[in-house]
């Protein structure tokens, strides 16, 4: 672990700075790239912070040199204009992945979002639940995951994490109202025990919904079987079966009327 370097995209954001603090404490060298300046006084002199755009391949290549691991947190959030969301969250993700692959990065951790589930009709959610991104942000997050799977099939180690909202002392947002309410001594209802639960399930085998030969390895096939295949028409299945590579398969899928999130 000594002398290993982690590139954190979006390092000036709330998740980025908290990851950076944790990784610095563990002895990693940190490089950050973000459109916003890195202004955290406690870390400013302990990392290499670069103002740059994840959509700019040359800028990404410069910060990727000698990097061992990438944590990709950079994203245009729902309040951004739809074109900025797409170019940052989808095309920017592809740019960082391509650079990571070219530079021999050992692991690329992609930070997705529970926004890929849209407005769920049940809880708890599991990894293989139906993907129903709502709006440009949720749709772009699904597309970004598909791009990650494409690069996973090309040999890059790409775990995908789907977190919900992040809150903390430097970012309370609307949750500040809840904490002020509690601070003032008011009661508020809690559903259940208040504990979050995590379920891990390999999913059941279903040969009829196995990915076609050209498909990327979709997280052990369970993502394809349980979340993608059920929504595909016969015409789309036939088109996907003709794909000769993960990139071609991904292109067919994202352009199909059954799964068009552009």
129-166 tens-digit pLDDT: 999 888 999 999 999 999 999 999 999 999 999 998 87
Helix or strand or coil: residue 225?
helix
Instruction: Indicate the burial class of 67 (C-beta count within 10 angstroms; 0-12, 13-18, 19 or more).
Output: buried
Q: Which residue ranges does the chain devote to CATH 3.40.50.720?
A: 5-161
Over residues 186-199, mean pLDDT: 56
**What's the pTM?**
0.70
Q: Which CATH architecture has domain 5-161?
A: 3-Layer(aba) Sandwich (3.40)
Examine the pLDDT at 25 and tell me if it is beyond 70: yes
Could you please report the per-residue DSSP string of 110-154? EE--GGGG-S-SSSS--TTSPP---HHHHHHHHHHHHHHHHHHHT
Examine the pLDDT at 221 and tell me if it is beyond 50: no
Examine the pLDDT at 31 and tell me if it is beyond 70: yes
85-127 tens-digit pLDDT: 999 999 999 999 999 999 999 999 999 999 999 988 888 888 8
Q: What is the pLDDT of residue 206?
A: 36
Query: Do 10 and 36 meet the contact criterion of CB atoms below 8 Å apart?
Result: no
> For 27, phi and psi rounded to 5 degrees?
95, 10
Q: Which two three-digit tokens encode residue 246?
A: 């993960």
- Counting residues of the chain whose pLDDT is more than 70, the rounded percentage is 73
* 65 or 238, higher pLDDT: 65
pLDDT band at 211 (very low <50, low <70, confident <90, very high): very low
């Amino acid at each position: 672990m000594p002398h290993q370097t982690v590139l954190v995209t979006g390092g000036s954001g709330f998740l980025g700075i908290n990851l950076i603090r944790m990784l610095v404490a563990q002895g990693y060298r940190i490089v950050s790239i973000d459109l916003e300046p890195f202004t955290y006084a406690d870390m400013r002199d302990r990392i290499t912070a670069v103002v740059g755009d994840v959509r700019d391949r040359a800028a990404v290549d410069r910060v990727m040199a000698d990097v061992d691991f990438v944590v990709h947190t950079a994203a245009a959030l729902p309040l951004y204009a739809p074109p900025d969301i797409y170019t940052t969250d989808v095309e920017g993700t592809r740019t960082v992945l391509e650079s990571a692959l070219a530079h021999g990065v050992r692991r690329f951790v992609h930070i997705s979002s529970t926004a890929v589930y849209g407005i769920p009709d049940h809880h708890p959610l599991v990894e293989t639940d139906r993907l129903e991104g709502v709006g440009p942000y949720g749709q772009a997050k699904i597309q970004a995951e598909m791009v990650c799977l494409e690069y996973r099939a090309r040999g890059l180690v790409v775990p995908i994490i789907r977190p919900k909202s992040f809150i903390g002392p430097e970012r309370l947002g609307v949750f500040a109202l809840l904490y002020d309410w509690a601070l003032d001594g008011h009661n508020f209802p809690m559903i259940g025990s208040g504990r979050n639960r995590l379920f891990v399930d390999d999913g059941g085998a279903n040969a009829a919904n196995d990915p076609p030969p050209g498909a990327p390895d979709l997280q052990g096939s369970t993502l394809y079987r349980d979340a993608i295949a059920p929504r595909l028409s016969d015409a789309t299945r036939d088109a996907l079966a003709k794909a000769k590579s993960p990139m071609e398969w991904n292109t067919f899928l994202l352009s199909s009327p059954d799964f068009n999130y552009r």
